[in-house]
Amino acid sequence: MSNRKINLVWDLESLCKDKNDVLQQLSVVTDKVNNFVEKWKSRSDYLVDSKALYEALSDYESLFRYYGSGGNSEYYVSLKSQIYQDDPSTKALYATVYDQVIRNQNNLMFFEVNISKIPLDQQKIFLSNPHLLPYKHYLENIFKFSNHILSVDEEKIINLFSTNAKSKWEKMVQELLSKEVRLLDTRKGRKKVSFEVILAQTRDIDSEYRRKASIALNNIFKKYLDVAEHELNAILEYKKIIDSIRNYSRPDQNRHLQDDISSATVDALVNAVSNKYYLSKKYYEIKSKLLGKNKIYYYERAVPVLFQNVTRRTTSQTYSYEDSFNFILKVLENIDSEFAYILENLNENSLIDVLPKKGKRSGACCFHNLLTQPTYILLNFNNTLNDVLTFAHELGHAINNELIKKKQNALNFATPISTAEVASTFIEDLILEELIKNANSEERLELIMTKLDSDIASIFRQIALYQFEQELHDTYRKNGYLSKNEIGKLFKKHMQNYLGDYVVFDNDSENWWIYWSHIRMYFYVYSYASGLLISKSFQHMLKKDKQFISKVKTFLSAGASDSPENIFKGLGINIQDSSFWEMGLSEIEELILYVEKLSQKF
């Protein structure tokens, strides 16, 4: 038994100690920003001379290595707002800080806007200059947006409007849901529980507990249905206006440019997955039978299937956080010692907030800001297998961040959304595979079903949601406004497309789009599918050769130093080829066929 102390809550004092410290540090950041502005705003030599551009980029990199536009103050209030969403003083401090952050961002906006307007001939000269090589892809990314970037004053207006108006709409429903508490029958008796706990109980092995949790959730969603309708329409209208101003040809074009990936590649992925929806439908047919039902309800789609003594078991296996931490650490030590070191460092420095509580953001997330700041992980750990895998997933993001820090400059400290889920799903799958390896035959079937639950959700569910988003934006732009019933019908249509006839949708289930925060982030979700299918290729190669982990780390360290397509090309992977995505899907198909055959014994 390890004597390691397991820390459960974030220590944010390493960033800021109190409100006064927040404001004092923010003042320092503002001074640094103003210094950069004073030095470069009135100059134009960096737009024509490579030496001047190198000096300007080096100054800019240094600013964003240590200060950014908000420094520790911005990071502190952002993190604190995740765990105290209903605290008025936290909200007030957040608003104060971000008002100044936006002013700083606007003061700095001239720099990238000016660079984007450099003539094409001069762009080519700069990109071929070896002295500018550390910043080459950073420049390429700015240049490709040149047709969509407006004037400095116009960009300032959009930035102010976006942060102070749109972001408040995005957070509103999420914050309202986080405050919800309901009296519910749980395994610990009838008690008041948070929204996150209610949501988790829809996966309980006992159908009665699931049913009661779903009723509670449906009542919560009904309470906020009208609010969510207006919220989503406001977000859709904002996107329509911005796309028009920036001359984007399709609603998801901006996302693809930001993610440094071609629309053709994303379309190939979406088509490859949607053409294989019959696989996810087959999976839910198998699952409903294993649960002893002709069909399952929508809220039951993630219920674990327990094969061993399935008719007599009333509780699913529990996993304590400490045991989960130690297990994951041991697995990482066998894969790569640096991965294990990163996990130990997160714990020792109290960078993981573990347990659910009232006012805390639901779900799980990994946070990073500046290259010189620590990575934080937020969990809502309820001692289930899903929580263990979620922990591993977010840890993958943290490992990705920490490896980039060692190899890249501050302007390349980023992961394109198109590949952001590679590291997370890679680590998650390796943890689950180790659990499967150590299980007996009955437990192995349970774990494989859990793996398929995750894979189906990450690939087929997220692509169905992507298509829901596409139709949502297209329909809004034709009709001008979408009622809650219209949104619900579109949601049901696309969820049913991948779920099939063995999953029952009632009218209340149509409202479950309300809590799905990703649709407020615009076309983010395809990255779950792309990330998982790419990581499966990595896993396949790692099984053949353990030394392949060095190439995995090369990819994870690359950050934004090149496009994902070029990075993968260097590893011998062509993600523009639709057959690549189909290869990953074939692995899912083999696993479903394997489970179908084995399930006949139960």
What is the secondary structure of 454-497 as a DSSP string?
HHHIIIIIHHHHHHHHHHHHHHHHHHS---HHHHHHHHHHHHHH
> Where a domain ends, among 167, 194, 222?
167
Give residue 105's domain range: 19-167
Reduce the secondary structure of 263-319 to three states and give it as a string. Answer: HHHHHHHHHHHHCCHHHHHHHHHHHHHHCCCCCEEHHHCCCCCCCCCCCCCCCCCCC
| CB neighbour list of residue 165: distance below 8 Å, 6 or more residues apart | 238
Query: pLDDT > 70: what percent of the chain?
Result: 97
Residue 468 belongs to some domain of the structure: no
- Residue 314: pLDDT band with limits 50, 70, 90: very low
Cα–chain center distance at 38: 37
Residue 48 belongs to some domain of the structure: yes
Residue 28 belongs to some domain of the structure: yes
Would you tell me how many other CB atoms lie within 10 Å of the CB of residue 271? 13
The tally of CA atoms less than 13 A away on the side-chain side of residue 523 is: 23
> Where a domain ends, among 136, 167, 198?
167
> Where a domain ends, among 167, 184, 215?
167
pLDDT for residue 339 is more than 80: yes
- Residue 57: pLDDT band with limits 50, 70, 90: very high
pLDDT for residue 21 is more than 70: yes
Q: What is the pLDDT of residues 534-572, one digit of tens each?
A: 888 888 888 888 999 999 999 999 999 999 888 888 877
- For the chain, what's the residue count? 602
Residue 308 belongs to some domain of the structure: no
d(Cα 45, Cα 99) in Å, to the nearest integer?
31
- Asked whether 295 and 502 are in contact (CB, 8 A), the reply is yes
Residue 158 belongs to some domain of the structure: yes
- Residue 105: pLDDT band with limits 50, 70, 90: very high
Residue 596 belongs to some domain of the structure: no
Output the average pLDDT for the chain. 91
CATH number of the domain where residue 143 is located: 1.20.140.70
d(Cα 471, Cα 460) in Å, to the nearest integer?
17
3-state secondary structure of 378: strand
Q: How many domains does the chain have?
A: 2
Q: What is the pLDDT of residues 480-503, one digit of tens each?
A: 999 999 999 999 999 999 999 999
Q: What is the pLDDT of residues 420-445, one digit of tens each?
A: 889 999 999 899 889 888 877 777 78
Residue 10 belongs to some domain of the structure: no
Residue 466 belongs to some domain of the structure: no
- Residue 309: pLDDT band with limits 50, 70, 90: very low
- pLDDT, residue 174, reads 83
